[in-house]
Amino acid sequence: MKIGTKSVLFIGILILLVTNIVLFAKGIVMADTAQKIQITIERLKIENNQLQTKLYSSSSLDKLDKTAQSLGFTKIASPLYLENPRYAQAQ
């Protein structure tokens, strides 16, 4: 059973052709996955910007002042002082 060089070349080219088709198909799948990931990244960037804006607006001084007033905290117009303020001393 002698296999000719033409048969060996034909089998080799056939193997390379099948390998090329498989790698091409995997490349298409990877490109599709990369595109889906890119779309997810863009969506998350937009969501992140919205959350940052919401955070900044909720932590602004005006918003905090209104929240404090609604919870019953008020500004004291004049502070209360002790008659004889003293520091703690070691005895």
Helix (H) or strand (E) holding 44: helix 5-58
**Residues recorded for the chain:** 91
Return d(Cα 49, Cα 43) in angstroms, integer: 10
Question: Which pTM does this prediction carry?
Answer: 0.54
Q: Which residues contact 31 (CB under 8 A, 6 or more apart)?
A: none
pLDDT tens-place string over residues 36-83: 999 999 999 999 999 999 888 877 888 878 888 888 887 766 666 666
What is the three-class DSSP state of 82? coil
- What's the rounded Cα separation, in Å, for the pair 57 and 9? 71
Domain boundaries along the sequence of the chain: 30-57
